[in-house]
Structure 1
Amino acid sequence: MSDVAALGRPEAGETAGAAVATVRERTTRASQVVTLLAVVIPPVGLVVAGAGLWGVALSWVDVALFLLLYVLTGLGTTVGYHRLFTHRSFETTKTVRAAFAILGSMTIQGPVTQWVTDHRKHHALSDQEGDPHSPHAGFAPNAWGALKGFFHAHMGWLFHLKGMERGEHYGKDLYADRLIRRIDRLYFAWVVLTFALPFAVGYLAGGRSWQLGLQALVWGGLIRIFAYQHATFSVNSICHMFGRRSYRSRDESRNNWIVAALTFGEGWHNNHHAFPASARHGLDRFQVDIAWWTIRGLEKLGLAWNVRLPSDGQRARRRLSEA
């Protein structure tokens, strides 16, 4: 059985009677405060700054570009990079595959093959030695170790471990895919596009004003990328430290609704680690999963098929507590 195929099956080494580490009934107050500071305050600060700059260095064009590109490129990562290319949760046409690969590249989180191989290694060794962005493995079980682990998982790993897993071990299927390799070779063209597009719209909407073009580039390019990247980074850090566990998995993955809201459903991370190949992460009631709605919409249009979901029986066997 290949490494890729194994990702779609129950976590290796687990049995019905396996012990589950660090399971609590609810998130502690301290955890809630940390989550608030790390996830909620930056967007609130962005809104406050925007209000102060309204009419001076921010317009409706900038807001529309920020939101539209945040959603489109974010879905490129969540639906494309993650659920389609990494876990093969569904199948689709070459055109849709190319669209998601390009949109994902426009978040500047690396080419498709690099992102996927890193993430597959994360699942193979989740929260164990060798996991590229675990906040737990290799860090002392004290406050200072937790702080260092949080920073490493959030963004520290990007500076010395990102892109180390290349080749066939975790990405043979994608390295054999001519379409994906071609899109990867044009990665820097997509990086240019992610900035050029908002500049062009701002420039034209502002009556061919390069100043308004630059303003749109800042909000629809730089700030949008900053905001989405840190939302994504929070899946690696916050969702392995703070939140609830509803299903049995062999790691410390957690469900965090705030991160889920910012990442179109990726914050239902414990659900995902319990059922890695599932196209749906928001498995329980009230767990909003916009990426899943996107896949479901494609399926209804005949553009997605072989959509993989856990059965009710599988969910019942792995459930720890009510969501």
Structure 2
Amino acid sequence: MKMKQWFDNSQINTQTGQPEQLEGIDWPRVIPYIGLHLVCLFAFVTGVSWAAIIVCIAAYMIRMFAITAFYHRYFSHKSFKTYRWVQALFGFLGASATQRGPLWWAAHHRHHHIHADTAEDTHSPRHGFLKSHMLWFLNKKNFPTQEQRVKDLARYPELRWLDRFDIFPPIIFASLIFGLGIYLEKFHPSLGADRWQILIWGFFISTILLSHVTYCINSLAHRWGTKRFETNDDSRNNFLLALFTLGEGWHNNHHFSPGSVKQGFYWWEIDLSYYVLKGMEKVGLVWDLKYPDKQLIKAKAKS
């Protein structure tokens, strides 16, 4: 595919004469999104310390796990069972990553699996890289939650609350990070970190990194990588994406067996979210983990 096609988001609507992908953009919601990126530039003012980097990585990992293990494997695919308080906790952590509420996320992802890489798929890279990466969720038509697809989740009022008031988890999480910064500044001044530095790195930079790495599953994992299984889509396995997304980069595996809690099918396919879920299973926090059919994998995998 030519580079121009990758970034081409200029299909013209013959009636309006405007680009189809841009005419539905919800611009008031784009402003806060742009603002999140711009705030990261304050890192040049606050500087950086090892404490800030550690907090940034920790905030990234915790919320990436909430997205990959719970928003994706649990809420979207029901690949294991857990307690109601556990699903609420990780629903909150997932929402704190500014990727909307669990009902909205799961509904769109279920839609994706039904229509993967077709005209109905809202974030297929076949429609252009930028639309696949981020323009799709900035479009007005994709803002409402498709509740008919998540009736199993909508029966929980706490999940509906997270979905309706998805702005509050990021604010609460940012406040906790700021509080941690105050603590480090006051009681551990030798670390060289202050409250604003911890806030910038621990919330804003970690959130932007987390967001764009997650978006890469839509925009890159359907383009770059290997295709072990023949599926009705363009999904690929990508080792680098698997590392940064805690296992989601084994995307062709996932589209072959969507309900599996394990996305790295072989021992060398690192799947950190699965390893953590196995640990949670051992202490009784999750159970009934679903696995892919080994015989089917052996029969369908390309040699």
TM-score interval for Structure 1 and Structure 2 normalised by the shorter chain: 0.7 to 0.9
Aligned counterparts of 2:136 and 2:164: Cα–Cα separation in 1 = 24
Aligned counterparts of 2:58 and 2:68: Cα–Cα separation in 1 = 15
Query: Which of residues 102, 112, 115 in structure 1 aligns to 2:102?
Result: 112
The secondary structure found in structure 2 opposite 1:108 is: coil
Moved over 4 A (4+): none
- Offset of 1:57 from its aligned partner? 1.1
Aligned counterparts of 2:87 and 2:115: Cα–Cα separation in 1 = 27
Aligned: 1:244 with 2:226: yes
Tell me, yes or no, if the aligned pair for 1:175 and 1:181 is still in contact at 8 Å.
Answer: yes
The match for 2:300 is 318
Aligned counterparts of 2:175 and 2:54: Cα–Cα separation in 1 = 16
The match for 2:28 is none
The match for 1:226 is 208
- Offset of 1:186 from its aligned partner? 4.2
Aligned: 1:300 with 2:282: yes
Tell me, yes or no, if the aligned pair for 1:115 and 1:163 is still in contact at 8 Å.
Answer: no
Aligned counterparts of 1:134 and 1:318: Cα–Cα separation in 2 = 24
The match for 1:122 is 112
Cα-to-partner distance string for 1:193-235 (whole Å, 9 max, x where unaligned): 22112211112211289x9211111101111001010100100
The match for 1:183 is 162
The match for 2:147 is 167
The secondary structure found in structure 2 opposite 1:240 is: coil
The secondary structure found in structure 2 opposite 1:199 is: helix
What amino acid does structure 1 have at the position aligned with 2:151? K
Query: Which of residues 155, 180, 199 in structure 1 aligns to 2:178?
Result: 199
Cα-to-partner distance string for 1:46-93 (whole Å, 9 max, x where unaligned): xxx99x979x71112211210111111111100110001100000011
Tell me, yes or no, if the aligned pair for 1:265 and 1:288 is still in contact at 8 Å.
Answer: yes
The match for 1:280 is 262
TM-score, normalization: structure 1? 0.76
Aligned residues: 262
Aligned counterparts of 1:248 and 1:316: Cα–Cα separation in 2 = 13
TM-score, normalization: structure 2? 0.80
- Identical columns (%): 31
The secondary structure found in structure 1 opposite 2:259 is: coil
The secondary structure found in structure 1 opposite 2:221 is: helix
The match for 1:93 is 83
Tell me, yes or no, if the aligned pair for 2:103 and 2:145 is still in contact at 8 Å.
Answer: no
- Offset of 1:188 from its aligned partner? 2.2
Cα-to-partner distance string for 1:161-214 (whole Å, 9 max, x where unaligned): 53345221x1111112233223334422211022112211112211289x9211
Tell me, yes or no, if the aligned pair for 1:279 and 1:308 is still in contact at 8 Å.
Answer: yes
Aligned counterparts of 2:143 and 2:93: Cα–Cα separation in 1 = 19
Structure 1 stretch displaced more, 312-321 or 126-135:
312-321
What amino acid does structure 2 have at the position aligned with 1:181? R
